[in-house]
Amino acid sequence: MKVDEMIWATDSDGLQTYVSPEWCAFTGQQPNEVLGLGWLDAVHPEDTDYIRMFFLDATASKEEFTMRYRLRHTSGRYIWVVDGAVPSFGPPQHTFLGYLGSVSELAPSASDALTAFGSRGAFRPPIPRQDEPARSPFDLITDHILMAHALAAETSDAEIRRVLDIALRVLGKRLKRADQEPYGFEGFH
């Protein structure tokens, strides 16, 4: 069972405002069920409390983060995923707008050797696999901007980081509008 990368966005309170169609196809949740903190309903019951607290703490600190947990598939099985995000800031005064993140398969099946985990301060999105099916241009743009943002964080070039922050802000605004369109892709070509 292979998980396609799933893209998501939140508002400044950490409440889900957008999720890509891949999330709905994988979990069976409808887009409106995922909104707010509804996405946690698809997290393994043993991981839910930890992931909820970690996510809310990360949102309060407005830091990049990475989480690991088990996510329910439509088959009823749970699969380990890595989920992470970068914050988006905008005017005035560097206001926190929310997160833009992605979820990818960590292992092909749940393993007793793993536990739910989270770390703040860094997010390195996975590099897309060559065998992944084609996705929407919007998902691909988001993947590349997230990867560039993670790499730019390792440099001392403030101008590059500033430009990528602007790009993330624009993507965040696009995702905010996307919740008014089915899955957010109509009219994007």
- 178: helix, coil or strand? helix
pLDDT at 153: 60
In sequence order, the β-bridge partners of residue 119 are 66
Q: What digits encode the pLDDT tens for the residues 114-165? A: 666 565 665 555 544 444 554 555 555 666 666 666 656 656 677 777 677 6
Q: How far is CA 78 from CA 71, 100, 111, 179, in A?
A: 5, 24, 10, 27
Q: Please give the Cα distance from 189 to 179 (Å, whole number).
A: 17
- Domains of the chain plus CATH, in order, are 6-183 (3.30.450.20)
Pairing outcome for strands 65-72 and 95-105: unpaired
pLDDT average, residue stretch 25-31: 93
Kindly indicate the confidence band of residue 71, based on its pLDDT and cuts at 50, 70 and 90: very high
Contact 10, 179 (CB under 8 A): no
* Listed residue (96, 128, 87, 103) closest to 39, CA to CA: 103
pLDDT of residue 188: 32
Is pLDDT above 60 for 189? no
Which range is least confidently modeled, 60-64, 75-79, 182-186?
A: 182-186
Asked if the model's pLDDT at residue 187 lies above 50, the reply is no
CA distance 138 to 158: 26
pLDDT recorded at residue 89: 87
- Identify the band that residue 183 occupies on the pLDDT scale cut at 50, 70 and 90: very low
